[in-house]
Structure 1
Amino acid sequence: MSSMRLDRWLWSSRQFKTRSLATDACKRNWVKVNDGPAKPSKPIRIGDVLNIQKGPLLKTVKVVELLDKRVSAVVAAKSFIDMTPEQEHELAKEKSKRINLGRSLPTAKGRPSKKQRRDLEEFLLKQQD
């Protein structure tokens, strides 16, 4: 096999959980082959460099092996070389922390109670002094 569909390789190498997710990523231009836009049906070959945008992480991989079907994670890891810089991983971790921080903040549940209002007024008066 000298080439195979991009979406099929992304799925079989476990870059995406399902083939339809891989297809959607290609259609949304989250996947680029050799720095060019890629459709799901684009044939890829050994040696091609893929840029895959997954959330805050821009992953760069080089195709080493073409896989016929979905294989175990250990075998799939041997089908590509991860060329993503370490800085990119750290940057993605920071971005995801910021995103998750906003989700963990408590949300207000209606009007403050009489006690909460008095505490707030007391706090604001102390801030003014």
Structure 2
Amino acid sequence: MDSTRIDRWLWAVRLVKTRSAAADACRGGHVRVNDRSAKAATPVKPGDVVRARLHDRTRLVDVVRVIDKRVGAPDAVTCYVDRSPEPVPGLSGPVARRDRGAGRPTKRDRRELDRLRGIE
């Protein structure tokens, strides 16, 4: 096999959980093949560079082998070389949210928010 659809390949190498999620990512403009926006049917072949924004993280992978059937995780990682940038530490901490219509935060709420943010 020399090429396959990008949505099928993303699913087969386990970068996304379902093939429909891969198609949705392509439809939303979150997948690029060789710096070109990719539709779900865009062919991918060995040597291509795939950039995908998946699960709030940018993945940059080089295609080494093309598969169209989902395989086990140890086999899947042999199909690409991951050149993704390291996630920025500290951005995945707790997020302070308030209910809509709750009004202004009280002094106590503000202090708790500051404590969460690391401001003392």
Query: TM-score category by the smaller chain?
Result: 0.7 to 0.9
Give the conservation status (yes or no) of the 8 Å contact 1:56–1:96.
no
Unaligned runs of 5+ in 2: 103-107, 109-120
The structure with more radius of gyration: 1
Displacement of 1:54 after TM fit? 1.7
Identity level (%): 41
**TM-score, scaled relative to structure 2:** 0.76
User: Which has more helix, going by share of residues?
Assistant: 1
The one-letter code of the counterpart of 2:4 is M
Query: Is this contact kept in 2: 1:62–1:82, CA < 8 A?
Result: yes
Change (3 A) 1:94 1:55: farther
Shift of 1:14: 0.3
Q: 2:96 is matched with which residue?
A: 102
Shift of residue 67 of structure 1?
A: 1.1
Question: 5 Å matches for 1:23-102?
Answer: 23-86=23-86, 89=87, 91=88, 93-97=89-93, 100-102=94-96
Deviation readout 1:84-108 (Å, 9 max, x if unpaired): 123xx2x2x43322xx3325x8x7x
Q: How many residues align?
A: 105
